[in-house]
Structure 1
Amino acid sequence: MSQLTISSLADLEQYEGQMLGTSAYHTISQEQINSFAAATLDFQWIHTDAERAQRESPFKATIAHGYLTVALLPYLWQQIVRIENLKMQVNYEIESLRFNQPVAVNSEVRLLAKLLSVKNLRGIAKASIEVILEVKDSKKPAYTGIVTFLYHFND
């Protein structure tokens, strides 16, 4: 796994239409799921009650919140691309996000990213990236979608 380094709008534009890379795998633990539940006040038993999930859930284990897996995007994205020479980065949009399957506790996930487009908005780079969150040893991804970041590079 090699990380790309981008330090300008021109650098970013040269990767338009290309696969950028894949992050390392990240294991989603019960502790992380519980912390997310506490942060979002979403304590649905399917996420936090391991005994009940084993008895009653079709997955036979707790599952990560879908939005927890989305919240991992910045962490996993930064393993693929290092953006330098930045004044600011803004999360702009998530488009066509589709959850394809739940992610069971202790699953390993990784992000695949392809730069779909780069637009110059008066010196601000608007980058749209196709993202796929893979679950190790599964044919279906956890989700697919398009995320858009705004990069305000230093001059």
Structure 2
Amino acid sequence: MHTLNSIDAVRARLHGPAAVSGYFTLDQATIDTFANVTGDRQWIHVDPARAAADSPYGCTIAHGLLTLSMVTAAYTQCFSLPGCKLLLNYGFDKIRFTGPVPAGARIRGSFHLAGLEDVRPGEVRGIWRVETHVEGSERPAMVATWLLQMRY
């Protein structure tokens, strides 16, 4: 766990090594819940029998947007933010889903602070390179540029 308790602490992470979360599982129940919440019930996500027969992956896979939404859980495993008055998801500049996340796979996130913009006194916008990795896979399943605004 890395502590980002001031803008100076955030600046010290700039261009440093990536922080990596622990693994957590994206099981079929989580995928089904996400499908129900979003209305995206495409068979490749929610029909294990059909996915086993017709999918190039031989199983159901997590939604790309579910994989993307898990960056918050991974980030909170990597960083504590004491003294941060506001942490705002400012959005994403680029997102690529570069590989499948099979149901039941264990995934983890990595976070590299690639840039930092001053917004106003006491507030910065971090430009984070985020990758989601499936345990045992060489390529990341997702690569994104995430903008997080932090006020101290």
TM-score range, shorter chain: over 0.9
CA drift of 1:30 comes to 0.2
The C-alpha deviation readout for 1:75-129, integer Å capped at 9, x for no partner, is 0011111111122211112122111111110111111111111222112111111
Query: SS of 1:132's equivalent?
Result: strand
Instruction: Indicate the residue corresponding to 1:124 in structure 2.
Output: 123
Which runs of 5 or more residues in structure 1 are unaligned? none
Paired position in structure 2 for 1:94: 92
The 4+ residue runs of structure 1 with deviation greater than 4 A are none
Assess if the C-alpha contact under 8 Å between 1:20 and 1:80 holds in 2. no
**Matched residues in 1 for 2:13 and 2:48: separation?**
43
Tell me whether 1:74 sits opposite 2:66 in the alignment: no
SS in 2 for 1:19: coil
Residue aligning to 1:18: 16
Whole-angstrom distance in 1 between the partners of 2:27 and 2:145: 26
SS class of match (1:36): helix
Corresponding residue number in structure 2 for 1:135: 134
Whether the 8 Å contact between 1:21 and 1:114 is mirrored in structure 2 is yes
Report how far residue 21 of structure 1 moved.
Answer: 1.3
Q: Does residue 1:61 correspond to 2:29, yes or no? A: no
Aligned-partner Cα distance in 1 for 2:134–2:54: 23
Look up the equivalent residue of 1:151 and give its one-letter code. M
Partner in structure 2 of residue 9 of structure 1: 7
Two-structure CA RMSD over aligned residues (Å): 1.0
From 11, 17, 32, the equivalent of 1:34 is 32
Q: CA deviation at 1:134?
A: 0.8
Aligned residues: 151
Identity among equivalent pairs (%): 29
Shift of residue 20 of structure 1? Answer: 3.6
- TM-score, normalization: structure 2? 0.95
Structure 2, unmatched stretches of 5+, are none
SS in structure 1 opposite 2:44?
helix
Aligned to 2:151: 152
Question: For residue 149 of structure 2, what is the amino acid of its counterpart?
Answer: L
Cα distance in 2 for residues equivalent to 1:77 and 1:19: 15
Q: Which residue identity is paired with 1:118? A: L
Stretch moving more, 10-19 or 65-74: 10-19
SS of equivalent to 2:85: strand
Give me the TM-score of the superposition, normalised by structure 1.
0.94
